[in-house]
Amino acid sequence: MPTTTSEVDVRGPRFAAWVTSAVLVATLLVSAVNSSLAAVILGLQAVVFAVSALRGPRRSPYGLIFANLIAPRVGPATEREPVPPLKFAQLVGFVFAVVGVVGFAAGVMLLGEIAAAFALIAAFLNAAFGICLGCQLYPLVARARRTPLTVR
């Protein structure tokens, strides 16, 4: 299948979603005993989200792991997906992670836990079922951005 720079092997983002799910589960487990450590773990995941949103899935930390360690062992891609919705999904994850970090760091545990749980739900849906919630929202946001503002 021909490849373009605006598409990636679907297995890469799903691998990243599995790793993200594990990090978010660890965050929630740790939050039960140490909110500061939960903030640090979630903060590191926020950095991964930010890098992924800015650089794209191929040059993200988990994307590089997939490309260098896993992709060579699993054979060529049979299915691809576009990059822009994936970058948007990572931006959404970043927002939830930042809200969670603020919650944990400020001692507002419920806020931190809810934000981390929402990010976990989204990551797990992508990892286990290939459902990217951010990707589903992307066309709506892209359409809204192209709609000119009307002055009344």
pLDDT in tens, 40-79: 999 999 999 999 999 999 999 999 999 999 999 998 889 9
- Would the pLDDT of 113 be above 90? yes
Q: What is the mean pLDDT of residues 110-139?
A: 96
State CA 39 to chain mean position distance.
17
Q: Where are the alpha helices (H) located in 56-132, listed in sequence order?
A: 61-65, 71-74, 83-105, 109-129
Domain boundaries, the chain: 7-146
- Residue 1: its pLDDT value, please? 46
- Degrees, nearest 5: CA angle 64-44-113: 125
- Would the pLDDT of 29 be above 70? yes
pLDDT above 90 as % of the chain: 85
- Would the pLDDT of 111 be above 50? yes
- Residue 21: its pLDDT value, please? 98
Q: What is the C-alpha to C-alpha distance for residues 149 and 152, in angstroms, rounded to an integer? A: 10
Q: What is the pTM of this model?
A: 0.89
- Residue 69: its pLDDT value, please? 95
The per-residue pLDDT of the chain, averaged, comes to 93
